[in-house]
Amino acid sequence: MERSFKREVEALRLGSGEVFRGEGILAVTKALLQAGVSYVGGYQGAPVSHLLDVMVEAEDLLGDLGVHVETCTNEASAAAMLGASINYPLRGAVTWKSIVGTNVAADALSNLASPGVLGGALIILGEDYGEGASVIQERSYAYAMKSSMWLVDPRPDLPTIVTMVEKAFELSEASHAPVMMELRIRACHMTGEFVAKNNRRPAYSSRNRIEGPPRFEYSRLAHPPVIFTQERLKVEDRLPAARAFIREQKLNQVLPGLYDEVGIIVMGGLTTSVLRALKRLELADIFGESLIPIYVLNVVYPLVPEEVRAFCANKRGVLVVEEGSPDYIEQQINVELRRADIRTKVFGKGVLPATGEYTSEVLIKGLAAFVAETRPIGLDVTAVSGMALAAVDHKAAAAKAVGELPMRPPTFCTGCPERPVFTAIKLAQREVGPTHISADIGCHAFATFAPFSLGNSILGYGMSLASAMGDGGFWHNGLITGVTSNLFNKGDGILIVMQNGYTSATGQQYMPSSKASRQGGAPGMDIEQTLRSLGVKWLRNVRSYSVGTMAKTLKEAMRTAERGLKVIIADGECQLARQRRVRAEDAARLARGARVVRTRFGVDDEICTGDHSCIRLSGCPSLTVKPNPDPLRTDPVATVIESCVGCGLCGEVAHAAVLCPSFYRADLIRNPHIGERFMHWLRRLVIGRLGGRAEAVS
């Protein structure tokens, strides 16, 4: 796993009255235990991976409480876990990254939402929306509406988030519907504190099992004819029950303000951003006291018509701050006001953009536009407009002063085992011509950027067949959706499986073919064996750093007359994980006085011609350029910087692509043995006698 969570696990043990300090997503983890959750599961993905990572590391604590934890192979299997709450009074929570994870889980979620639940069912969604996002920009809101699941979007401060986790379980139980909680990237990673409560032992758990035989109730199956009753229950029973609970428990908040002929209706998760923007316009103070009343929707679905009407009545205009498209909330508010014949003008998309993240800058402009349109009595609108201009103008001025900055596309880590595979593809394409490449989700998607620019489409995690998917994607979806379907349909593609040992992009979590697991030993599932058992005949396992062999294997796969799926397993441990492991091992060896070798590559300045073909075939961040030390040559030369991990790709590329011989390899030996010391002495002596600098040899 990417990092240790020992300190965070300790925080999960805090008892009543103690202060929890940490990230939003870890506060959620603690809140689950305080709420008496019986089981937790999920699939890793930013920004909610830490929830599951911490739960996995807190095995002792959870075992003591009787909480069952599962790291699921995809979001569908995580959603299916919630089936335990359909028939039994068990509180369960699962987590994943949305929208992609919710798409994968959609079938199970529909089948869960239709019969409804007895025990509280909570889905923590990492709403990966906005400038830092890594997935398609869609909203989870649509799923809430279509399946009658409630969507909580808590105001991003730790006490509110924690309270909303507990209330979400109660809401689920009161209305018999699953509840989703969306947490944006910033909410997950913001830090704060809250006063903890004791962890609650679940009423029923692995330590205290429910008595009696398994419950059979036909009405709890998502199956005709009961689905017709379930549809009615969703609309006629569960929805009113949810609205009543939200109203009675005051889950939404109204922040009063001086200029009460106008108001703002905001998704809970955007409250802090709105208050900050109002502060920049001198319409709120640093403690969040606003001059304009704000209705904070900690539950964004369902809306509570009585609350909407009460907030909007007697206002000339309200601004709906709803990030993303379509404007589901704005439309519902308009409908509600028209139904109640309330003439408040609704602003939203128009003064605010229809798409994109509502950053501080966007909100400042939108709020200024709203007050300019509504002109609250007593408010100096010209001054507000001036402040808005001043607040956003400096950015343009700074951009002008700095000039155009070069693009910095994300790329593989230094020494990544996946990079050489794309180098090999580029080399193979020189001979076989361009090929269509269906890329997949994972680190290898970086190959779509320069210098490789390989990958014609990306369809989803594990959906790429052919041509390249990671081992994480293979187990997530690729095995069934890709491989089995291809074999069944007698396809003729080439699949490259990047076997790096972890789901690396999300923090090196273990998966079925990892060499270790959270229980210690290897899970024992093998990609090659699995593929062979399905009937894959053409299968090669190639060390990913062997560029020449990889290029040759690719050409063979493309040219062979043999029909059917051809699989190349590119084998090489994730370098990030390897470096963490090797660093610790080397430190231990050095402490014992044992020999440690660190391999580095370098470029000889005098030989390098400065054509940079090595960089175009590698893209390693440690292989860069520097000014040419030769005053008679102006082209910068290639150079390898200190961060090189000595993966060997430089040497392999120079060899496989028949590049210039400027690359050299150096082994830096700590605690060398006597023979190596002697050879070093001898080399220095000979070079010194020949007139060279002895220091040049190490």
Residues that bind ligand SF4 (CB under 6 A): 412-416, 418, 443, 500, 504-505, 574-576, 601, 618, 620, 622-623, 640, 644-650
Smaller CB separation from ligand SF4, 18 or 585: 585
Least separation in angstroms between residue 451's CB and ligand SF4 is 12
Least separation in angstroms between residue 304's CB and ligand SF4 is 45
242's CB contacts (< 8 A; 6+ apart) are 150, 171, 174, 175, 177, 302
Smaller CB separation from ligand SF4, 410 or 675: 410
Smaller CB separation from ligand SF4, 7 or 581: 581
Q: How many CA atoms lie within 13 A of 426 on its CB side?
A: 23
In angstroms, how far is CA 64 from the centroid of its own chain? 30
Least separation in angstroms between residue 446's CB and ligand SF4 is 7
Q: What are phi and psi of 605, to 5 degrees?
A: -55, -35
Q: How many CA atoms lie within 13 A of 401 on its CB side?
A: 6
For 155-251, strand residue ranges (E) read 179-184, 191-195
Smaller CB separation from ligand SF4, 29 or 508: 508
For 137-221, strand residue ranges (E) read 150-152, 179-184, 191-195
Q: Report yes or no: 293 and 256 within 8 Å, Cβ to Cβ.
A: yes
Least separation in angstroms between residue 95's CB and ligand SF4 is 21
Smaller CB separation from ligand SF4, 118 or 447: 447
Residue written as token pair 């997950």: 188
Least separation in angstroms between residue 668's CB and ligand SF4 is 13
Least separation in angstroms between residue 4's CB and ligand SF4 is 17
Burial class (CB in 10 A: 0-12, 13-18, 19+), 339: exposed
Least separation in angstroms between residue 443's CB and ligand SF4 is 3
Smaller CB separation from ligand SF4, 169 or 446: 446
Give the angle subtended at the CA of 14 by the CAs of 9 and 6, to the nearest 5°.
15
3-state secondary structure (DSSP) of residue 433: coil
415: left (phi over 0), alpha (psi -120 to 50) or beta: left
Smaller CB separation from ligand SF4, 143 or 474: 474
601's CB contacts (< 8 A; 6+ apart) are 640, 644, 646, 648, 650, 651, 663, 664, 665, 666
Paired residues of 470 in beta bridges: 498
Smaller CB separation from ligand SF4, 171 or 574: 574
Q: Report yes or no: 217 and 35 within 8 Å, Cβ to Cβ.
A: no
Least separation in angstroms between residue 270's CB and ligand SF4 is 32
Smaller CB separation from ligand SF4, 362 or 640: 640
Least separation in angstroms between residue 663's CB and ligand SF4 is 8
Alpha helices in 12-95 (DSSP H): 24-34, 49-57, 59-65, 75-81, 84-87
Q: What are phi and psi of 95, to 5 degrees?
A: -140, 150
Smaller CB separation from ligand SF4, 358 or 422: 422
Smaller CB separation from ligand SF4, 379 or 574: 574
Least separation in angstroms between residue 548's CB and ligand SF4 is 15
Least separation in angstroms between residue 662's CB and ligand SF4 is 12
Q: Report yes or no: 109 and 151 within 8 Å, Cβ to Cβ.
A: no
Sign of CA dihedral 495, 497, 498, 503: positive
